[in-house]
A and B are shown apart, each in its own frame.
Chain A
Amino acid sequence: MPEHKYLKKFIEASPSGDFANLRKAVEYGRDKCLNELEISGLVGRGGAGFSTAAKWKFAWNSPDVVLICNGDEGEPGSFKDRYILENGAFLLLEGLLISAFMLNSSEVYLYIRDEYKDALEAFHKCLDDNLDLIVWYCEQVNPGFELKVVCGGGAYVCGDETSLINSLEGKRPHSRIKPPYPAEKGLRGLPTIVNNVETLSNLPLIIRDGGEKFSSMGVEGSRGSKLICLSGNVEKPGLYEIEMGKITLEEIIYTLGGGCPNGKLKFVIPGGTSTAVLAPDGLKIAVDYGSLRKAGTSLGTGAVIVADESVDALDAACNAADFFMSETCGICFPCKEGNRQIDHLLNLIRQGKGQESYLKLIQDVALTASCAARCGLGQSCGNMVTSLIDKFRTDFVGAKL
């Protein structure tokens, strides 16, 4: 675990506190809290960047809302949720309690991936340390409140909210057909709100400072700060907290990360393996949801992976293809068979048995999956591979074909 570098908001807000923010939220009442949340402009940090207030409003008037905090963090290169769990568990706990209060939800889950043993322990310790406060919460604020901490079985697809719900129900973790969205019909058919660990950890800050102040940070559509997981060929890998829209990818890599230690930068994966790579000439780009989307890629989970010239684009593509092929849930044909085909074609190319026409085939598969696959995994599985082919065709064609 690389130590944190530029973390500001999260640590500041995370003394082993007295639930001041929670108390304040209770004082406000749920409607005023929602108002603050709306003003804050908070969007989900789990990858899609969907407005949190908008999501909650779908279930705002339903009784028996289930709240699930998504700590599956399966995206390669992402370790921000783990950091929060291990070092800022109190912040998450308070965020969870505020959210549960706001949503009138007494059934709350924290879903942590099985590999995160330390995170699990840290969160449990936090619960133990704050038992009195939790008892107070259960008695005074949210009677019937129950928090269940659940460990996933380790499949990447369990991070997808509908697959996660299936997994919680003890079913095979494959995505559900949407609509109905979980906010309408989720766990056991109940309205269910799923939010990322980082998303919910922002709630205490929004209550403490007010939505106005929160939204003064960042840019339209990307308010507040964002945790960036910087890894790969950089001098100073680690977790950084940035103000969205106010810093470029280049600055993150060079100013914060110290640049590539041995050799020149070749490409950057801006948001995890399900996002398209950027070449060096594309790095002068503000890091926020909108700007990256406009550049044909995505901020995703904020997992910035840097590759220098020692990295072969074909190898990287094979790696990604193998990942998606292995992690498909196996239910829909374009993803299951598509990833198998991409993996097969890339391996043929690597073994020198390829043809240039295979590159077009890979693009066809990726397009098919992106249009027709059932969930985000399949829809985004081709992003990295096809962008590598676009930008580094010679790595594919050159020696191998």
Chain B
Amino acid sequence: MITLKINDKSVKVTEGTSIFEAAESIGCKIPALCYHRDLSVYGGCRLCIVEIKGRAGFPISCATPVEEGMEVLTHTPEICELRKNIFDLIIAYYPFECQLKCDSCATNKICELRQLAEEMEINELKFVPIARQGEMDDSSLALKFDSSRCINCGRCVRVCREVQHVGILTPSRRGPATQVSTFMDKGMGNVDCTGCGQCLLVCPVGAIQENFEINQVLAAIADPKKHVVVQVAPSVRFTIGEEFGEKAGVNLEKQMVTALRKLNFDQIFDTVFSADLTIMEESAEFIKRFTEGAKLPLISSCCPGWIRFAEDHLPELKDNLSTCKSPQQMFGALLKSYYAEKKGLEPKDIVSVSVMPCTAKKAECMRPEMIENGIYDVDYVLTTRELASMIQSRGMHLPELPEGKYDAPFGITTGAGLLFGVSGGVMEAALRTAYELITKEELPKIEFDDVRGLKGIKSAEIDIKGTKIKVAVANGLENSWQLLKHADDYHFIEIMACTGGCIGGGGQPISRDPDVLQKRKNGLYKDDKNMKLRKSHKNPAIQQLYKEFLGHPLSEKSHHYLHINADLQSPFIPK
């Protein structure tokens, strides 16, 4: 332990801690823009300068480790003045509409410039604004990048490289024209971007955003000829409240259903249902491969960010990927077939909308293998944030809405399906079902603690009546990359592109709370525990679907609607 003084206050921290973190630990917040706790130190914004007794100049606190007996000052008048100047210089070269007129700004909720202006008590800008040109990169189906808003803090570059092992974002151009871009300015849609949106989550100013599809959805709802159906992913209910000031991890499912009704969606379904369906198919696939001695490990395929990464970086694992579509796409396929038939609707008149924690799903639904005869399984994907803003723009305050209920025939769901929202959840849900299908006996303990938690890589050995099955789980693509170097050591692997799984998805509310994933995760596991049904194969609605329509898992019909039969590696087709 090292003892130092920060603003005359004694602090004890472990060796290697930076001054910045040491200050944070005693509630002394030093302004910063390029610093991010999960990323390497960048040292670009220079806002976190401090004074250290006996040392010349103004070292940056994020890059300076604490030393025994150090005396640090963080907010002297001189430092504050320098910080104001730096901040003011940033705003001087920011889009003209900014100039800290935050009330009229679309990104004001998340903008750290605004927060800093408040913290630093900036009420007047002294430098002269300089006109700035930027380009909008809208080549990606998932995200768009407005370079005129980018302050070059490098967080997105680092998250993409360090956390996601993708590295498509890079500083480009020279000197004053330096800006973040993609290889040869090809655009995010034309390089190996997975669409995971982790870059968006760390961007302090909202320069990267999802491709908004709110207007298309509203137009479909307004069209009397269209039957607009919406499905909501498991994790959304635990996070959407944050956009309304609720605590993270509070389940607002029932209020959300009411909101969707008020938004005039014709039918409201729960993706947890198709998550249960995914488990039926995927565990059947696993059992088949395992008993037939076919190619293992089986690797989950429900995360489109991961699928895209695998195509670009690990094509050799192609045959290990489960052929199951993701729950979103399975649901979409059912809506345009089984459901259409049941309701006597033409598939082309159904508009299938999904609300997802995920930006990659915006691109997933446009993949050629997700389209049949011009009919898309899913037509539009909204992020959690987009739904929240639709609700807000109707003047509704979500937490105060009355409770509503999902529609039949997909209204019954299980805790297993709910677990899809968190890293390790697909694995646990699949094991709950596989165990019982293999042994025909009841699982002695339903929780698989080894695959739970926010660790980047988790593994476990499961004893299924004498047969040992080795499973592993990774979240975040760098972790996944590391894990998959040893793919052959396992029988079954779950991969989620986002940190923590979908609770940390690129479509989730942007939070600066370091514990937010923990809170979201806890909420989710708590609700699994409270569910009446906790195993997918025990879901009566699922059983009925097989009886009425699909036959049995891995049947021909299942394969047609619920699995990917085409070769991956196919290019995206823009709508």
Residues on A facing B (Cβ under 8 Å): 155, 172, 177, 325-334, 336-341, 344-345, 348, 358, 361, 364-365, 367-368, 371-374
Contact = CB atoms under 8 A, between A and B. Distances in A.
Contacts of B334: none
24 contacts: A326-B176, A330-B171, A330-B173, A331-B42, A332-B43, A333-B44, A333-B45, A334-B85, A337-B86, A337-B90, A340-B89, A340-B93, A340-B130, A341-B127, A341-B130, A345-B128, A361-B128, A364-B85, A365-B85, A371-B58, A371-B82, A372-B46, A373-B46, A374-B43
B126 A334 contact: no
B7 interface: no
B92 interface: yes
A34 B85 CA distance: 45
Query: 6 smallest A-B Cβ distances: which pairs?
Result: A330-B178, A337-B89, A368-B85, A372-B46, A177-B43, A177-B63
B136 interface: no
A367 B82 CA distance: 8
B485 to A, nearest CB: 23
Interface string B30-42: 0001000000011
Contacts, number: 103
A310 B152 CA distance: 41
Contacts of B42: 331
Contacts of B44: 331-333, 374
Given A330-B171, A365-B85, A339 B176 contact: yes
B57 interface: yes
B445 interface: no
Q: Which of B93, B127, B151, B154 has the most C-beta atoms of chain A within 10 angstroms of its own C-beta?
A: B127
Interface in B290-328: none
A228 to B, nearest CB: 29
B175 interface: yes
Contacts of B58: 371-372
Contacts of A339: 176
B49 interface: yes
A351 B253 CA distance: 62
Contacts of B547: none
A50 to B, nearest CB: 14
B46 A326 contact: no
Residue with the highest number of chain B CB atoms closer than 10 Å, among A155, A327, A328, A337: A337
A156 to B, nearest CB: 9
Given A330-B152, A361-B126, A374 B89 contact: no
A88 to B, nearest CB: 33
B176 A328 contact: yes
B174 interface: yes
Interface in B41-66: 41-47, 49, 57-58, 60, 63
A341 B82 contact: no
B92 A334 contact: no
Contacts of B92: 337, 341
A242 B86 CA distance: 41
Contacts of A172: 171
Contact of A330 (B60, B127, B130, B176): B176
Interface residues of B, number: 34
Nearest to B64: A179
A382 to B, nearest CB: 12
A368 B154 CA distance: 21
Interface string B86-100: 100110110000000
- Which of A326, A338, A371, A372 has the most B CB atoms < 10 Å from its CB? A372
Interface of A is mostly: helix
B175 A374 contact: no
B90 A333 contact: yes
Nearest to A370: B57
B112 to A, nearest CB: 14
Nearest to A174: B171
A325 B178 CA distance: 11
Interface of B, secondary structure class, is loop
Contact of A371 (B57, B90, B152): B57
B175 A333 contact: no
B55 to A, nearest CB: 11
A348 B130 CA distance: 11
A294 to B, nearest CB: 17
Given A336-B152, A337-B89, A372-B82, A325 B176 contact: yes
Most buried by A among B33, B82, B126: B82
Given A341-B89, A371-B82, A373-B46, A330 B175 contact: yes
Given A325-B175, A333-B45, A334-B46, A368 B86 contact: yes
A372 B178 CA distance: 19
A389 to B, nearest CB: 16
Given A341-B127, A345-B128, 19 more contacts: A325-B175, A329-B178, A330-B175, A331-B42, A331-B178, A332-B44, A333-B45, A333-B86, A333-B89, A336-B152, A336-B175, A338-B89, A340-B89, A340-B93, A340-B176, A344-B128, A364-B126, A371-B58, A372-B82
Interface in B89-140: 89-90, 92-93, 126-128, 130
Contacts of A333: 33, 44-47, 86, 89-90, 151
Contacts of A327: 175
A155 B85 contact: no
Contacts of A364: 85, 126
Contacts of A373: 46
B175 A329 contact: yes
A130 B318 CA distance: 58
Contacts of A331: 42-44, 152, 154, 171, 178
A372 B176 contact: no
Nearest to A328: B175
A333 B48 CA distance: 12
A236 B176 CA distance: 37
Contacts of A340: 89, 93, 130, 176
A326 B89 CA distance: 17
A368 B83 CA distance: 8
Interface in B142-199: 151-152, 154, 171, 173-178
Contacts of A372: 46, 49, 58, 82, 86
A66 B552 CA distance: 67
A336 B128 contact: no
A371 B50 CA distance: 11
A368 B89 contact: yes
A330 B82 contact: no
Which interface residue of A333, A339, A358, A361 has the most chain B CB atoms within 10 A?
A333
A358 B127 CA distance: 9
Contact of B89 (A348, A365, A367): A365
Q: Which of A326, A329, A331 has the most CB of B within 10 A?
A: A331
Contacts of A374: 43-44, 46
A271 to B, nearest CB: 20
Contacts of A326: 174-176
A336 B152 CA distance: 10
Nearest to B57: A371
A331 B175 CA distance: 9
Nearest to A344: B130
B175 A361 contact: no
Contacts of A345: 128
A371 B175 contact: no
A358 B45 CA distance: 24
Contacts of A368: 82, 85-86, 89
A345 B152 CA distance: 22
Nearest to A173: B174
Contacts of B82: 367-368, 371-372
Nearest to B43: A177
A216 to B, nearest CB: 32
A334 B178 contact: no
A372 B175 CA distance: 18
A204 B58 CA distance: 39
Contacts of A358: 128
B173 to A, nearest CB: 8
A184 to B, nearest CB: 14
Contacts of A325: 175-176
